[in-house]
Structure 1
Amino acid sequence: MDWSSKSGRLKETVCRKALVILDGKGLIDLPSDDVRVLQRGVKSRSLPLVQCADIACDLNELGEIKLELVTSRYSKASRIWKSLMDTHHYLGSGPLCGAQLRYLIHSSIYGYLGAFSFSSAAWSLKERDKFIGWTEAARRDNLQRVVCNSRFLIIPTVRVSNLASHVLGRCSGRIVDDWASRYGVQPVLLETFVDPDRFLGTSYRAANWMYAGRTSGRRAAQRQDGAGPKEILLYPLRHDWREILCVEPRIGLCERPRIAEPTDWVEEEFGTVEFYDPRLSRRFFDIVRNFYTQPQASIPQACGSYAKTKAAYRFFGNERITMDRVLQAHVESTVGRIKSHGVVLAVQDTSSLNYTTHQATEGLGPINTQKDQSVGLLIHDTMAFNTEGTPLGLLDVQCWARNRLDKGKKYRRGQLPIEEKESMKWLKSYRAVHQVQKLCPQTMIVSVGDREADIYELFLEAAQAPLGPKLLVRCERTRNRKTGDDFLWEQMNQQAVAGIQVIHIPRKGCQLSRDAKLEVRHAQVELQSPQGKGYPSVQVWMVHACEVEYPKAVRSPLEWMLLTTVETSTFEQACERLSWYAKRWGIEVYHRTLKSGCKIEDRRLSTAESIEACLAIDMVVAWRIYHLTKLSREVPDSPCTTFFEEAEWKALYAFSRKDPPKEVPTLRQVTRMVASLGGFLGRKGDGEPGTTSLWRGLQRLDDIAATYLVLLPKFRAGP
């Protein structure tokens, strides 16, 4: 373990405290004498070393006033400082907390006039933290730049007007260099606490310290002298102090430590989640487990009790619980799965969540037309798929509500920069995928988008990042893309047919699934910048597929014009690009699982931020259900323990077949049994189960497994 601070100094105090705690828990055994040395007891008051005469004069009559830094705890100055504090200060000489500097106030004519000290800032103060405006992560990272004026003493017999404010002004100018010299950190903010029952804090206010609120104080049973609520005063040491303190630490993907021995898939998937409170982490894991075992249940039904339901609503309302923080841990797990594949498709898509019936929810916006009056949230997510179509996990999620007052935006979007358009969502997701690509240099990640992603700025960004993700986008015909002197579609019609490719089209609405026969053309083209943009041209490959010999019942035959930055110079490569784009339908299946399987649109929460936090959990639950569906087809003979606990599959066999096998069954066998609980019949022509029957079956499996665990000990005990 690293027991040194950022400045390289050893954390002796922290180490001492840790040893005492470990000894108290019985994890180590310290000799009793060592424990007494390590523990900080209350020190007795020392005898006065300084004789203090009555002084009543003007400030300029004190002569030269020096602020003498105490350089050693064993020096005479240290003994004088302790003597003054123990004699005249109601809190005594200490102990002071953490890092500290002590000073003596000395007059060239009268001698010592007082003393003061600075030490480490308070760990957490509600009113102070609210005044600063920093997040929990920023507070933990930047608290070292806040220093507490923990003691301030003018000897009671010294009655000199403006002396206290004069000393405060001088010490605030000196503390920056002295603190940096000893600890290697430049403070930007001072804090102190004034007991309102004893003092008015006039000297601090005269020195321009700011009032930031009151502390809560200790509980009544724990209060001693000076332990009641105190006023919090702050003094900035530079004009940009708030900007410095509010900067969050830059922790990249896969830089947080994972749980060493996860107990289940929840701890394994979210092993790097950080809420800076172990109670929140435990609550989070419980909520994810409850949502997964009952994906269609409401929050009260999934939680199972009033206390757990109340805790869940409080959890979603906690400002520390954000969608980005929850999903970052899942994204890091997704990165681990991506590294085992040569090619990964990062499919982007946008969907809307309708909360029109939730009139009490704050922060929603319009999602359809003004006449429709529907309100809700929009989500733009990026899901990673392997080339077989198995979802590996989410890579990026954006969620927002449109501004109700921002009307008529579509009529002026031609004058707006890309940064002010919703189209920017495609570039943001591409950049998020770019960060993942840096962590997976052996994997080629291809960002896939439908016709809405046909944005020239997206192609330009992909072309300018040769080591970044590749791009595969379906072209929108109305864009009228130009390639030299011709339009894109005109140039493609001039190309000869490279071959015929058959792809499977899944069922969509009333249209049945079918195998589409496609004529394939491909060519390399140079896209020209849209008129008036002034961008450079971009080299891409185009793949055109047009359905032929289609059934009469097909109203709109398939026609794709794909643009890609992946080299496509042969018919086989063109067919591979078509196969990649066909996997884009997987994200639509995922959205259906999210809405119908997890009932995210039925979640009743008070604010849009709470819905986003809940949505983050539901999105991972929906992914896992979909992942199970596809994985049971891709690797059907793998053991079922990759997804199911031992108690789950044994309970399932005991319920369904009455004869649990001695060997672990395959994933396909158990998946089909779970789906049968959800209505899957398993007939010859039914194929493999889908997500609908699986999420229904998982809800029943949870009850079956719980009953199995209750009855198993009694069964083993016998009559």
Structure 2
Amino acid sequence: MLDKAPTTWRQAGRDITPENLAYIRTFAERFPGLSRTELTATLCEHLDWLTPAGRPKFQACSKLLARLEAAGELRRPALDERFSHPGPHARAAAVARAPRQRPSVVSSLSALAPVHLRLVSDRADEHRFNDALAQCHPLGYKKPFGYWARYLIESSEHWLGCVLLSGAAKALTARDRWIGWSERQRLANLPWVVNNSRFLIFPGVEVPHLASHVLGQLARQIGEDWHACWGYRPLLLETFVDPERFRGSCYRAAGWTLLGHTSGRGLVRPGKTYHTRPKLMFAKPLQAEFRTLLCSHQLRGQSAP
């Protein structure tokens, strides 16, 4: 149970300090566009409320938010059927669908033009998008946390691939040193950094320079699209590339900056250590003054977030 004390809330064996509570309130106020599910999952990530395996303690956090709301300490988003998600059996069935046969596309970029990024806005395209990543991307599909955007890469005749954007990595030594922000600034301003968590050109699509062309278009388009969806413009894109699979050539060609390698140690969890393969880290500023803004308190005045 959750017990309220003058300075501390307690839920599922964890003390929720006044600092935690202030952060929860501020985050909920600044991100009114998130559904309840997305708000809960993102707070789990930001507050390190995770299992030893690194999964969000979703039920515990959800109960905490509900009790805080009942006590008048917090106002959560209204329930919205548009953000409901299918149960595990429905999700398993979706992933198990037979792969769609996609035609091979061998062409020059100029002959294929115009190529454009179309923002996914309906449930049918969302299912197509998720299935394509599950079937064709080396990392499969993982539901994004926080704010997100799905794009279909299309020409006039073909569906060529997918781009998924989601919440930024919580802490990265090389990135954080490159930006120059303090820990407090990072926690406050991290939502203005967006992660290109999946980038897929379909097998059979052989179009030289297509990937870098798409990344250039993404950098020009994301500000307006993100503002239309979520009410603010991001300042920086980031991504990770497995050097055992790829060299990141398309990111370099599109003007992304190589920041270095991840440590390969994964996130540090109490009582647990594990390793992942080190990844190349790339970043793409979206505004000239991105460092000044990310290392400041100026973003707090924006209405959303």
What TM-score, normalized to structure 2?
0.69
Corresponding residue of 2:278: 229
Cα shift at 1:11: 5.2
1:198 has 2:245 as partner: yes
Counterpart code for 1:14:
L
Q: In the superposition, relative to structure 1, how do residues 104 and 138 fare at CA in structure 2: closer, same or farther (>3 Å)?
A: same
Which residue of 289, 294, 300 corresponds with 1:245?
A: 294
Q: In the superposition, relative to structure 1, how do residues 79 and 49 fare at CA in structure 2: closer, same or farther (>3 Å)?
A: farther
Q: Provide the C-alpha distance between the structure 1 equivalents of 2:192 and 2:227, rounded to a whole number of angstroms.
A: 10
1:1-16 equivalences under 5 Å are: 2=25, 4-10=28-34, 12=36, 13-15=38-40
Cα shift at 1:137: 1.6
Q: In the superposition, relative to structure 1, how do residues 10 and 159 fare at CA in structure 2: closer, same or farther (>3 Å)?
A: closer
Which residue of 94, 107, 118 corresponds with 2:142?
A: 94
Structure 1, gaps ≥5 residues long: 29-36, 252-719
1:126 has 2:173 as partner: yes
Q: Provide the C-alpha distance between the structure 2 equivalents of 1:132 and 1:38, rounded to a whole number of angstroms.
A: 39
* 8 Å contact from structure 1 (residues 46, 82) kept in 2: no
Q: Provide the C-alpha distance between the structure 2 equivalents of 1:10 and 1:163, rounded to a whole number of angstroms.
A: 33
Corresponding residue of 1:56: 106
Which residue of 184, 187, 190 corresponds with 1:143?
A: 190
Corresponding residue of 1:21: 60
Q: Provide the C-alpha distance between the structure 1 equivalents of 2:108 and 2:86, rounded to a whole number of angstroms.
A: 46
Corresponding residue of 2:70: none
1:481-520 equivalences under 5 Å are: none
* 8 Å contact from structure 1 (residues 135, 248) kept in 2: no
1:446-485 equivalences under 5 Å are: none
Q: Provide the C-alpha distance between the structure 1 equivalents of 2:206 and 2:299, rounded to a whole number of angstroms.
A: 51
Q: In the superposition, relative to structure 1, how do residues 78 and 250 fare at CA in structure 2: closer, same or farther (>3 Å)?
A: closer
* 8 Å contact from structure 1 (residues 46, 87) kept in 2: no
Cα shift at 1:119: 0.8
* 8 Å contact from structure 1 (residues 141, 249) kept in 2: no
Q: Provide the C-alpha distance between the structure 2 equivalents of 1:162 and 1:250, rounded to a whole number of angstroms.
A: 36
Counterpart code for 1:116:
V
Q: Provide the C-alpha distance between the structure 2 equivalents of 1:40 and 1:189, rounded to a whole number of angstroms.
A: 34
> Structure 1 runs of 4+ off > 6 angstroms?
37-41
Counterpart code for 2:120:
V
Which residue of 150, 153, 169 corresponds with 2:200?
A: 153
Corresponding residue of 1:351: none
1:77 has 2:141 as partner: no
Cα shift at 1:170: 0.5
* 8 Å contact from structure 1 (residues 70, 102) kept in 2: yes
Counterpart code for 1:94:
K
Q: Provide the C-alpha distance between the structure 2 equivalents of 1:249 and 1:102, rounded to a whole number of angstroms.
A: 28
Corresponding residue of 1:185: 232
Q: Percent of aligned positions with the same letter in both sequences?
A: 35
1:535-684 equivalences under 5 Å are: none
Q: Secondary structure at the match of 2:28?
A: coil
Q: Secondary structure at the match of 1:4?
A: helix
Q: In the superposition, relative to structure 1, how do residues 137 and 55 fare at CA in structure 2: closer, same or farther (>3 Å)?
A: same
Counterpart code for 2:185:
A
Counterpart code for 2:239:
T
Q: Provide the C-alpha distance between the structure 1 equivalents of 2:99 and 2:198, rounded to a whole number of angstroms.
A: 19
Q: Secondary structure at the match of 1:83?
A: helix
Q: Provide the C-alpha distance between the structure 1 equivalents of 2:63 and 2:181, rounded to a whole number of angstroms.
A: 35
Q: Provide the C-alpha distance between the structure 1 equivalents of 2:193 and 2:126, rounded to a whole number of angstroms.
A: 24
Cα shift at 1:222: 4.1
* 8 Å contact from structure 2 (residues 28, 39) kept in 1: no
Cα shift at 1:50: 3.8
Q: Provide the C-alpha distance between the structure 1 equivalents of 2:192 and 2:40, rounded to a whole number of angstroms.
A: 22
Which residue of 253, 260, 263 corresponds with 1:216?
A: 263
1:115 has 2:162 as partner: yes
Q: Provide the C-alpha distance between the structure 2 equivalents of 1:23 and 1:180, rounded to a whole number of angstroms.
A: 27
1:227-269, Cα deviation, whole Å (9 max, x unpaired): 4211110001121111111114799xxxxxxxxxxxxxxxxxx
Cα shift at 1:217: 2.4
Structure 2, gaps ≥5 residues long: 1-23, 45-56, 68-84, 267-271, 301-305
* 8 Å contact from structure 2 (residues 166, 194) kept in 1: yes
1:403-438, Cα deviation, whole Å (9 max, x unpaired): xxxxxxxxxxxxxxxxxxxxxxxxxxxxxxxxxxxx
Q: In the superposition, relative to structure 1, how do residues 23 and 238 fare at CA in structure 2: closer, same or farther (>3 Å)?
A: closer
* 8 Å contact from structure 1 (residues 4, 11) kept in 2: no
Corresponding residue of 1:567: none
Cα shift at 1:117: 1.2
1:317-396 equivalences under 5 Å are: none
Higher relative contact order (CA 8 A, sep 6+): 2
RMSD across aligned C-alpha pairs, in angstroms? 3.2
Q: In the superposition, relative to structure 1, how do residues 169 and 6 fare at CA in structure 2: closer, same or farther (>3 Å)?
A: same
